[in-house]
Structure 1
Amino acid sequence: MQGLYGSLWVDRWRTGETVERAGRTFDRGLLLAKATWAEELAGFSDMPDRISKALEACRHRNMPPTLPEFLDLCRQQHGDAPKALPAPRLSADEVAPRIAELARKVAKPQIGDTGWARGEPPFVRGPWESAIIELAEKGDPRFIAILQEHVANGVIRSERARAALGRETADAAAA
């Protein structure tokens, strides 16, 4: 901290009262601060990466942190983030078909594509059936033909579908 903040750090704790230890003179306030910080930071002794990251976070502060502020910085650091799973090991022969399948799934249908309506109905049948009937009711000949095929095969059996086809047949006869 003294390296980061210089006299701002030392002056925060210095009392001017000196203590003699092992032939050297120390400031009592600095010794007390050092002992207090060491005691409080002991709770992070098994997480030195959190202390390192908290020190790194201090590089962006203009003033040195108090002990409670520094402890909060240590708590905010998460050095125990989960590691990513290893990349799957696939051969080139396994990768190519998977990429082709994914490309097929995400490819957008072309405008005017009716393939979705021609195939087997999806698991959620209601919206699929309603969309086909609605497009046939609007007079789109492609969807009239698709609806006729589904009604003939018993795939779509609703009264609304039969009414839409009856209306189309009546409109065609009138024309």
Structure 2
Amino acid sequence: MSREIATMADEQLHGHTGHEADQQDTTVRKLFLVLHGKYGNVFAGKFATGELNEAGKDKGVLAALRVWSAALAKYPGPIIELAAERLKATHPEYPPSLPQFEKLCDAAMPRQTVAELEGWKRLPAPEVMPVDVQVEPRCDGKDWARRIVARAVAGDRSVSCAALRDARLALGLEGRMSWQ
């Protein structure tokens, strides 16, 4: 890939291609505007060669735009924008180089799990059929426990062991308590 970037930069500098800055990635052009706005000519001066193309634009800046566009093509637009926002904290005085900006983009990328990195397929979500039980209310404050026990008896596998144990304790079906 570095040969491709070098070739694009050389073509832009020496005019061997018909590509103009208008065809560059919009996000990278916006990024260059933001960086020029934050750092002024310190940023633009890094790339300026003094050679102008037919449109009157500096060939060095256009070449840098193409190189940055090619290098940042692997990042989605919102990630590039987020990295640009983080420049205040990470580079308050001087503009970042391309590798430094790529590190900011890498840090802004959402983390992936090992399964996502390896391309493993996700297991389908288990199908849990709701178990509808009818419990006659007794208004003694233990109706919740009766519903849980009735669901477990009906085969509801979504009832946790702890919830079932607590319900059985509340109803006095397990371990006698002094208050029962």
Q: Could you say which structure has the higher strand fraction?
A: 1
Larger RCO, structure (CA 8 Å, separation 6 or more): 2
Q: Could you say which structure has the higher helix fraction?
A: 1
For the pair shown, which has the larger CA radius of gyration, 1 or 2? 1
TM category (shorter chain) comes to: 0.3 to 0.5
